[in-house]
Amino acid sequence: MDLILLIIVYILASIIISILAFRKHLNWLRALLLSVVLTPFAGAIYLNRSRVHFWYEPRYKCPRCDFSFTEPMEECPHCKSEGQKVILKKTLAKMT
């Protein structure tokens, strides 16, 4: 009975580490395999040592047609060709 409880805790710890890796935008399958094959401590080390670097890039998005542009523009060219004058909104896109 104690062995079954230990196995259940081991598998749950491995699953929790893979979920945390998924939330950090890391390879969740690698974290799961490390946790199951080695130990959940190895998965936790992978989780804490790995980092994904993000930066933000400016985009210009049309609120009408939902198309985004990388070059700064005053109006949406797609909507302008349809006879609509729509001002683009500046947003920041998360890049990896």
Instruction: Quick: pLDDT tens for 41-76.
Output: 999 888 888 777 778 888 888 888 888 888 888 888
Q: What is the pTM of this model?
A: 0.56
Q: What Rg do the C-alpha atoms of the chain give, in angstroms?
A: 23
- Both 44 and 63 in one domain: the answer is no
Domain with 79, as residue range(s), is: 55-95
- Both 62 and 24 in one domain: the answer is no
- In the chain, the percentage of residues whose pLDDT exceeds 90 is 32
- Both 72 and 36 in one domain: the answer is no
The rounded mean pLDDT for the chain is: 87
Placement of tokens 């994904």 in the chain: 52
| 37: pLDDT strictly greater than 90 | yes
- Both 13 and 44 in one domain: the answer is yes
Domain count for the chain, please give it: 2
Write 84-87 long-range contacts (CB < 8 A, 24+). 86/62
| 96: pLDDT strictly greater than 70 | no
Placement of tokens 């001002």 in the chain: 87
Tokens in use for 34? 């490390």
- Both 40 and 74 in one domain: the answer is no
